[in-house]
Amino acid sequence: AQTVTQSQPEMSVQEAETVTLSCTYDTSESDYYLFWYKQPPSRQMILVIRQEAYKQQNATENRFSVNFQKAAKSFSLKISDSQLGDAAMYFCAYRSLETSGSRLTFGEGTQLTVNP
Amino acid sequence: DVKVTQSSRYLVKRTGEKVFLECVQDMDHENMFWYRQDPGLGLRLIYFSYDVKMKEKGDIPEGYSVSREKKERFSLILESASTNQTSMYLCASTQLWLGSSGELFFGEGSRLTVL
């Protein structure tokens, strides 16, 4: 079974600065999807960014980008020019393309605080 | 936009009560999920469903059951609530097609407290 690990329970960043959230995963599969989700306080979880494993280019969505290291099984999220609205719980997730249908496996989460 | 609606944001129940958590999605998604979210444990899959009247156990199904009588509705049932089922429950849905990422769309969550 695949596992996803987020080793940073909490992170903080100053407004306008850059922060990187870490995620590692364990799998024997070669093709899969990786996701970062954001859960703001008392609001629903939304997708931040996704990456398909066979694509070598790192995904980017505006101020959010990933550093995908397939061999190292690492999938970190970089938030540039942090804003107060980025404060949230962030979850890394894995989806197999070989087994398990559409289910996602999630990490433990990282609580991000943005300081003004 | 996809909308996933969970019937109750906050519930307080007594030990031994039967609890129903309802989830409705409006995008004709075939796949629906119930996750449980606890601090330090992330999201853990309880049950999921690929189609009407079909269900499969996730990683922590003990103490729970589900019902999917209509495509848009997926219910989570706690037959006899216990204090260790105090948690946040998240419903999600998705539709798979060739080349899709299988992104999940989530409801706002139901925070259940069992006394």
Q: Which tens digit of pLDDT belongs to each residue from B54-72?
A: 999 999 999 999 999 999 9
The burial of A70, by beta-carbon neighbours within 10 Å (0-12 exposed, 13-18 middle, 19 or more buried), is given as middle
How far does CA B100 lie from the centroid of its chain?
22
Question: In this structure, what are the phi and psi dihedrals at residue A86, rounded to the nearest 5 degrees?
Answer: -80, -10
**Structure-block tokens of residue A13:** 């960043």
pLDDT given at position A34: 96
The string of pLDDT tens digits covering residues A40-95 is 998 899 999 999 998 889 999 999 999 999 999 999 999 999 999 999 999 999 99
d(CA A27, CA B12): 39
Query: Which chain B residues are closer than 8 Å to A35 by Cβ?
Result: 101, 103
Residues A68 and A94: beta-carbon distance below 8 Å: no
Query: Which chain B residues are closer than 8 Å to A109 by Cβ?
Result: 42
The string of pLDDT tens digits covering residues B26-58 is 999 999 999 999 999 999 999 999 999 899 999
The shortest CB-CB distance from A33 to any of B44, B101, B109 is to B101
Q: What proportion of chain B, given as a percentage, has pLDDT over 70?
A: 96
Span B76-82, mean pLDDT?
Answer: 97
Given a cut of 90, whether residue B91 has pLDDT beyond it is: yes
Given a cut of 90, whether residue A115 has pLDDT beyond it is: yes
Residues A52 and A105: beta-carbon distance below 8 Å: no
Q: Is A81 helix (H, G, I), strand (E, B) or coil?
A: coil
Residues A90 and A77: beta-carbon distance below 8 Å: yes
How far does CA A87 lie from the centroid of its chain?
14
Interfacial A residues in 70-109 facing B (CB < 8 Å): 91, 93, 95, 101-109
Contact B101 A50 (CB under 8 A): yes
Average per-residue pLDDT for chain B: 93
The shortest CB-CB distance from B43 to any of A46, A95, A106 is to A106
Stretch (H or E) spanning B104: none
Q: Is B84 helix (H, G, I), strand (E, B) or coil?
A: helix
